[in-house]
Structure 1
Amino acid sequence: MLQILKLPRREPKKMVGWNDELVIRPDTPLTPAQKKQLAKAIKRAKRDGKIAASAQQTIPYEEMYQNGVCSLGNRLYSKSVAFEDCSYAEASDDDKAVIFELYCRLVNYFGPSVAFELSVVCYYPDMAEYRKILRIPSTGDGFDTIRKEYSDMLLSKAGLCKTERRLCLTFTVEADDVRQAASRLEQIEADVLVRFKGIGTEAHGMDGYERLLLLHQCLHLDEPQKFRFNWDSLTGTGLSSKDYIAPSSFQFKEGRYFRVGPSVGAVSFLQIRATKIYDTLLNALLNIESSQIVSIHAKALDQGAALKAVKRKLSDLDKAKIDEQKRAVRSGFDMDILPPDLVTFGKEAEKLLEDLQNHDEKMFMVTILLVHTAPTKQKLENIIYSVNGIANANNCDLIRLDYQQEQGYLSALPLGVNQVEIQRGLTTSGTAIFLPFRSCEVFQPGGLYYGVNAQTKHLILADRKTLKCPNGIVLGTPGSGKSFFAKKEIANSFFATPDHILILDVENEYTALVEQLQGQVLYLAPDSQSYLNPMDLDLSTDVGESPMLMQADFLLSQCELMMASYGNPLMPIEKSLIDRCISLVYRDYLKRPTPENMPILGDLYQCLRAQDNHTADDLATAMEIYVTGSLSYLNHRTNVDLNNRLVCYNTSKMGQGLKKLVMANVQKHIWQRTTINRYAGVTTRIFLDEFHMLLKEPQTAAYTAEIYKRFRKWNGIPTSLTQNVKDLLASPEIENILENSDFILMLNQGASDRGILAQRLGISPQELTHVTNSGEGEGLLFFGDKIIPFVDKFPRDTQLYRVMTTKPSDLAA
């Protein structure tokens, strides 16, 4: 590929033009005579004002407007759309085919009148900004040392990612004025956003400030600087937006390098030699841990002109074939034996014509530019050497733009300006094969820490409150890190948010952490002195239903569980008798709602005895073991502080005779606490360990499903943990629970469970590897419609780890 520059004639008093031709080959050094000619041309251009006198003048746009429209000069205007990454690298082959087809439709949307530029900007993370985002403010509650320790740990995790990416698509149109351009660009933007939504990635139109911020990052790749700008500063000051984004200096004196601020850089173009390009090429080029810009300029040819050009080429090839056949006949050779290149070119041209005519393909003229910067030339050459090795492995070459570094660098900026006249013709699918997608990211300032993206090393910071249904489920085999994850989220919530936290602890996993954080632990056991009254009634909040009706329904379910132990379900007459007695025992409390008037189970028992009814006597007799017998633990008024911000219901020592009743009682108190918090504007986080046990009995299963349906509206965020996937999926209520859960954290899974979950949740074989024989703290995070492979190696030399761990080896140490 050649770039032709024309030198000025040696005529006196004539404006410098480019008439004498100087052919510059990107892969061939200039001769001394050519360098001398070029130097004279540049000297004359400087004298006549053809070369920018300042860094601001170098930046190739005229004005940036607040709505994101940029005037480029020569009647050209551009606008940009920023979009997020999506799961592609580990998607299934079918999903990849769908994403590629949808991206082809996006590329095909652009016609001959609209040029577009895909920009991928890789830059070093701003650790000062991360420090502000990840810092947990001190509160003076005695835990500030742990808060600082946790903040420092998060900052160290953020440093694992060496570079960050920003993706944007810029499109350029011609217009007579900015008003006409804005109308056209806004319509294009709306259409592009619809197509990105179809792909499954979030996108938005960039306003002027956001575009300037991105340009500022591109112009300061190796020297992160705070972007300080507001539109008011341009009024009456004589300043332009360029003054806020320009680097300290530009230097384009050397043919193979340029300097921007303190950094040295080089611009190359990608020369494609391969007959087949793979969708992994772009991400392979971007995997180098250095600051860089990859810019892909594309503009469609008129379809009629493209077809004529291909047909003309086919005619030329046919003529060449005939000439070869004539030559073969004259020489006495077989006329059917043709040169391999001629046969290959003919087949490719025929396929291209078929694609253009019948497969909805267009022909695009494409320029692919790569900008790399580094503090020194040596480091820069090392980076370019590595990138060139990746390009060569894909049958491509990285060619330096000798003596066109300025044009190349300015063309790589996300403005939609292409000053490099080196192009390659590609079809729609050939252009779309440079997919910028890799893996989903979730980074929400103010969110909680969930590990590091296993592919990109980016910190995963997520706020479940932003989900439509923040309910969550944690799945994993024993030893995979389920309880440690829950403790980490509990601690993070406790230190960084004002949320209240309630824990159902059936295996004594969370008591140490709760006590360390000065929370309230309720030891619910037959020999315990901590009591939780199942008859507690809260009249302070309005939940849309009569509190008495809800309490009656709950107590009926408790009686159902009591009778179920005898193998006899409640009959309608028995339910009516119990319901009558419930109204009677609460009569005094409703008149004067004080703690001493709160009834207990024994009051309901005495009321049944007083009914002078044989059936009521039978019910009272069945209840007697829970009132005066060996299971009378529930026959007490509540004597613990349930207003503590952190409450743990420890049922690890509860026998089988009371476990179902106590579980249901805990669920009711959790619901009451959630409703109270909701009216106080407080979020309640609920952690339910060994979740499958709650789904074994129809009563507790139905109540749990109801919690998952209604908690979202009541500002509650339940999280359930279990290791028994088969038991979980066997429950008829699990469908409702899964449908109302937008947060699923999956750790290592057994072989049989993996197959079930892969089919149920649509997990690809590549994604499934992250939960196959994986280590502690490794797995998949389902956050809304995103699937993110994660790794969380929590540092063991921290005070918080020593409190959270349950590993015998750690406890022994």
Structure 2
Amino acid sequence: MEMPKSKYDQTKQNDTPRVAELTSVQDVISIVSIDDSGIFELPGKKFSKLYALSDINFAGVTDEEQKSIIINFSKVLKAIPCRFSYTVANEHVDERAFHEKVLYPLKGDKYDPLRKSYNKIIADKVSDAKQGLYQTIYLTLTIKAEDMQDAKSTFSSMESAIRSAFIGIGVNGIQGSVMRSVGINERMQLLFNLMHAGIDHHYQFDFERELKSRHDWLNIISPASICFENEGFTINGQIGRIYFVDEYPKSLESDIIAALTKMNCTSFVTVANELLDISGFKQEIARKYMAVGMKIENEKQRNRNNNDYLADASAKLLNEKDKLDAFSKKLDTDDDHYFNSTMLIYIQTKDEEELTQIEEKLMNAASLKSVKLKTCFGKQREALNSVLPLGIQEFKRVVNLSSSCLAMLMPFKTQELNDENGIYYGINQLSQNVIFADKKLLKNHNGLILGQSGSGKSVFSKSEIISTFVNYEGDQIIIIDPQSEYGSLAKEVDGTVISFDSTKEYYLNPMDVDFEGVDYGRLQEIVAEKADFILTLLSSCLRRDILPEEQGIIDKVIDKVYSENFAMRKRLNGIEDAKGEYEIPAYLRADTKGMLDTTSLSNEEQIKAYSPTLQDVYQGLKDYGNDLGLHLAAAMEIFVNGSLNLFNHRTNVDLHNRFIVFDLSGLKDNLRVTSMLIMMETVRSSIKANATKGRWTHLYIDEFHELLGVEQVANFVLKLWKEIRKMSGILNGITQNMSDLLNNENGGKLQAILSNTEYFALLSQSTLDKNKLMEFLPSISPAMFNFVDNADSGTGLLRMGAVTVPFDMKMSTESEIYRIVNTDGGGYGV
């Protein structure tokens, strides 16, 4: 008759496999049933649910912050009221699918050579697809329940508290880990991919489809063949082996799991934990204490039998007794949780030769951390069920760990940026994985690119611009270029360069307006925007704020100019006046019927040919009939009939090109402010026009501090910075460093800009600028700023929303992309 087991011994007992003796491949995995909620039923009325955890920047923070994260992680472990395991998985990667994911897809257009050049750069950085973008942290919770419905209810009740605990791991503004439920399709796909490693397939598991087809899910995920041996197994011709940690170091280090997961193969590192009942654990300690006491007494008796009445027991036994006594007292006073934990490592390779190489690397990594590994001899099948994120513990080699000790087995390493359809930003300096990011996914799309002279800022910016151009073929890119740096870039992509130079006869009409699909209500919005522009323009001329009575005159004149133009354009297009909510006032209906023939011009041609000009506003002010109107008209004289009449012409450049550069290098001082205001008005109009067509606009402003140095332009930029997100726009400021932004008269606007910015590319910074950035960006750990402290050219920090990664964007000087973006003769390369 089997003796009843204590509560402590029960936690050391292995789970019973679903099938005792294997007769087919379907018997390998110990899953009884699955549910569309993602829950697995396991033998013995156990149920498990899987969650994916986002990584956090543990490796890139200070020692103090690491300590705080470890303490917070121990609190998370104490918040989990059931059996659990966490797994760091380098999942099986199909080589072809991997390259389809990371390389830029070819579009079959004339820019494919640029995409191929980028793909060569990316391929050179990704030396091995198996240690790449697919490392995932999983948390598996296992409970006992009467049935599936009871299990769903239990998981639902505990999820919220655990999810909140993981979010609370972060310190000093560092984002905590986000816990996401893994659905049934994703969970089954994980098993299918692993069980079918070595077989070329494109199968995607779909629970609803398989249910309707009455397919057996167990047959679907089972491997084609599997053969277990004492120290390993063969699955579909691939070699697998599972190890357990036999000896732990006397002092646990927080990067043990990180060291063991740096394998260039499919691998799983799992820490399986069973919460100990504290009363049962105390009984176990008391039993051990009594056993040691008996050994001491026996040893003393032997000494007395040998006539050695003064000798005590051995120092080893006495020391062990003291430790048990101290630990027993600690259990009575501390509020810690304790676990029986088993740590398993699974590696899978294509053949024995690769297995030998990986095993040697694994053993070396373990040895450096004073960890001793052994194969799960004769128990590879049970160990396979235990190491996978199933919630099964058929193989146990337990060690007692408190929550604070268990937290040292840290699964977190560093954040990754791997946005689907994102553009390439080099490699992560901490993990060596490639970085792909998509600014469109951010809550606020605006960004700043900062770097001191020689940091590679210009090459970084141009590389991002070209990547954006070739990957988002429907988007428009607009660049404001104060120093004529982007003209050669425009030539590479057949772009339009607009130079504000009277000798080149490039004309922009700031009064251009698109009336297609506009009713009288929308017309009032246009009038308000154009009136605001004229107010800013006249304010810069008069060098003072516009008086309230002057504002009223300007509003009325702009309203009259655009309403008459609106009515005229409708007649040209054969559209009768609307009868409805927004009917044009009678006084604005020009009696032009019969005087104007309908036009055959396209809408784009009509915008250029028929939009009002500054001349119309000037004449409207003169005709207003009072001194204030004449005074304002006199202020506009220089823009209409004087030396600054560059902008009193109809537009003769192509503003619909996908790539537009505004070259400000030829601006004369007397035209500078005016040109900037008119340029920004044109840009805003283009962004709004694109938004109505569902088109994204990427606006880059180089030497960003120059625009912020002009009061009227700074106000314009700040307004656009806040509203561009609603118009599917992305505004990017490029400048050397924080000092440039802070040391002008409008440095106070920087805070408003930073509060509406989620993208930062920080290249090499001086110590002064680094300290200012640390002040403005407290959510980035001080340790991460070491990556920008006089960093190598082409390296730095990339912050996208809550994710911050140190990047290395160096590229070969032989690359075609390097030739294009390194137009200034400097830059960086390897």
1:297 matches 2:272: yes
Q: Offset at 1:518? A: 1.5
Task: Give the 3-state SS of the residue equivalent to 2:136 in structure 1.
Answer: strand
Corresponding residue to 2:764 among 729, 738, 748: 748
CA distance in 1, matches of 2:777, 2:801: 12
Corresponding residue to 1:426 among 387, 397, 401: 401
Q: Which segment drifts farther, 448-457 or 775-784?
A: 448-457
User: What are the ranges of 5 or more consecutive residues in structure 2 without an aligned counterpart?
Assistant: 3-18, 170-175, 570-605
Corresponding residue to 1:445 among 397, 420, 426: 420
Task: Give the 3-state SS of the residue equivalent to 2:681 in structure 1.
Answer: helix
1:760 matches 2:766: no
Q: TM-score, normalised by structure 2?
A: 0.83
Is the CA contact (8 Å cut-off) linking 1:118 and 1:296 kept in structure 2? yes
Q: TM-score, normalised by structure 1?
A: 0.85
State the one-letter code of the partner of 1:750.
S
CA distance in 1, matches of 2:160, 2:25: 34
Counterparts of residues 789-800 of structure 1 (less than 5 Å): 789-800=806-817
1:377–1:133 distance in 2 versus 1, CA, 3 Å: closer
1:223–1:341 distance in 2 versus 1, CA, 3 Å: farther
Counterparts of residues 662-741 of structure 1 (less than 5 Å): 662-730=675-743, 731-741=747-757
Is the CA contact (8 Å cut-off) linking 1:588 and 1:597 kept in structure 2? no
State the one-letter code of the partner of 1:647.
I
1:276 matches 2:238: no
CA distance in 2, matches of 1:450, 1:543: 41
CA distance in 2, matches of 1:543, 1:794: 49
Corresponding residue to 2:260 among 274, 277, 285: 285
CA distance in 2, matches of 1:275, 1:748: 41
Is the CA contact (8 Å cut-off) linking 2:418 and 2:436 kept in structure 1? yes
1:596–1:84 distance in 2 versus 1, CA, 3 Å: closer
Is the CA contact (8 Å cut-off) linking 1:119 and 1:295 kept in structure 2? yes
1:552 matches 2:531: yes
CA distance in 2, matches of 1:507, 1:341: 80
CA distance in 1, matches of 2:724, 2:73: 38
1:412–1:134 distance in 2 versus 1, CA, 3 Å: closer
Is the CA contact (8 Å cut-off) linking 1:222 and 1:373 kept in structure 2? no
Q: Offset at 1:188? A: 3.3
What is the match of residue 490 of structure 2? 514
What is the match of residue 377 of structure 2? 402
Corresponding residue to 1:350 among 310, 318, 326: 326
Counterparts of residues 505-584 of structure 1 (less than 5 Å): 505-540=481-516, 546-564=525-543, 570=546, 582=558
Is the CA contact (8 Å cut-off) linking 1:161 and 1:457 kept in structure 2? no
What is the match of residue 121 of structure 1? 89
Corresponding residue to 2:110 among 142, 149, 170: 142
Note the alpha carbon deviations across 1:546-603, whole angstroms, 9 max, x for none. Answer: 2122211211111222233xxx555556656655655566575354246555444455
What is the match of residue 386 of structure 2? 411
1:650 matches 2:663: yes
What is the match of residue 38 of structure 2? 68
Note the alpha carbon deviations across 1:448-479, whole angstroms, 9 max, x for none. Answer: 22222222222222222221111111111123
Note the alpha carbon deviations across 1:735-769, whole angstroms, 9 max, x for none. Answer: 11111111111111111101111222123233112
Q: Offset at 1:784? A: 0.9
CA distance in 1, matches of 2:143, 2:710: 65
Q: Offset at 1:145? A: 3.1
Is the CA contact (8 Å cut-off) linking 2:189 and 2:204 kept in structure 1? no
Note the alpha carbon deviations across 1:113-162, whole angstroms, 9 max, x for none. Answer: x2112122224533311333356555554323333443454455444554
Q: Offset at 1:173? A: 1.6
Is the CA contact (8 Å cut-off) linking 1:124 and 1:224 kept in structure 2? no
State the one-letter code of the partner of 1:765.
P
Is the CA contact (8 Å cut-off) linking 2:454 and 2:826 kept in structure 1? no
CA distance in 1, matches of 2:370, 2:103: 47
Q: Offset at 1:651? A: 0.9
Q: Which segment drifts farther, 785-794 or 535-544?
A: 535-544
Is the CA contact (8 Å cut-off) linking 1:310 and 1:353 kept in structure 2? no
Task: Give the 3-state SS of the residue equivalent to 1:733 in structure 2.
Answer: helix
What is the match of residue 37 of structure 1? none
CA distance in 1, matches of 2:38, 2:625: 82
CA distance in 2, matches of 1:628, 1:338: 108
Relative contact order (alpha carbons < 8 A, sep ≥ 6): 1 or 2 greater? 2
What is the match of residue 366 of structure 2? 391
Is the CA contact (8 Å cut-off) linking 2:59 and 2:430 kept in structure 1? no
Is the CA contact (8 Å cut-off) linking 1:453 and 1:790 kept in structure 2? yes
Q: Which segment drifts farther, 337-346 or 134-143?
A: 337-346
User: What are the ranges of 5 or more consecutive residues in structure 1 without an aligned counterpart?
Assistant: 1-5, 7-16, 18-48
1:571–1:110 distance in 2 versus 1, CA, 3 Å: closer
What is the match of residue 222 of structure 2? 246
What is the match of residue 10 of structure 1? none
CA distance in 1, matches of 2:105, 2:232: 46
Is the CA contact (8 Å cut-off) linking 1:222 and 1:374 kept in structure 2? no
Counterparts of residues 64-143 of structure 1 (less than 5 Å): 64-111=34-81, 114-123=82-91, 125-134=93-102, 136=104, 139=107, 141-143=109-111
Q: Which segment drifts farther, 390-399 or 535-544?
A: 535-544
Note the alpha carbon deviations across 1:415-453, whole angstroms, 9 max, x for none. Answer: 111122321111111222211111112222222222222
1:469 matches 2:444: yes
CA distance in 1, matches of 2:408, 2:325: 19
Is the CA contact (8 Å cut-off) linking 2:128 and 2:264 kept in structure 1? no
1:401–1:301 distance in 2 versus 1, CA, 3 Å: same
CA distance in 2, matches of 1:105, 1:360: 11
1:242–1:604 distance in 2 versus 1, CA, 3 Å: same
CA distance in 2, matches of 1:366, 1:209: 29
Note the alpha carbon deviations across 1:16-38, whole angstroms, 9 max, x for none. Answer: x9xxxxxxxxxxxxxxxxxxxxx
State the one-letter code of the partner of 2:177.
T
Is the CA contact (8 Å cut-off) linking 2:702 and 2:733 kept in structure 1? yes
Is the CA contact (8 Å cut-off) linking 1:267 and 1:370 kept in structure 2? yes
1:585–1:104 distance in 2 versus 1, CA, 3 Å: same
1:169–1:597 distance in 2 versus 1, CA, 3 Å: closer
1:724–1:207 distance in 2 versus 1, CA, 3 Å: closer
Q: Which segment drifts farther, 798-807 or 288-297?
A: 798-807
Is the CA contact (8 Å cut-off) linking 1:130 and 1:155 kept in structure 2? no
1:801 matches 2:814: no
CA distance in 1, matches of 2:523, 2:721: 17
1:273–1:98 distance in 2 versus 1, CA, 3 Å: closer
1:495 matches 2:459: no
Q: Offset at 1:509? A: 1.7
Identity of aligned residues (%): 28
Q: Offset at 1:504? A: 0.9
What is the match of residue 650 of structure 2? 637
Q: Which segment drifts farther, 682-691 or 284-293?
A: 284-293
What is the match of residue 146 of structure 2? 176
Q: Which segment drifts farther, 189-198 or 639-648?
A: 189-198
Is the CA contact (8 Å cut-off) linking 2:130 and 2:266 kept in structure 1? no
1:423–1:544 distance in 2 versus 1, CA, 3 Å: farther
Is the CA contact (8 Å cut-off) linking 1:106 and 1:195 kept in structure 2? yes
Is the CA contact (8 Å cut-off) linking 2:90 and 2:135 kept in structure 1? yes
Is the CA contact (8 Å cut-off) linking 2:92 and 2:193 kept in structure 1? no
CA distance in 1, matches of 2:141, 2:729: 44
What is the match of residue 157 of structure 2? 187
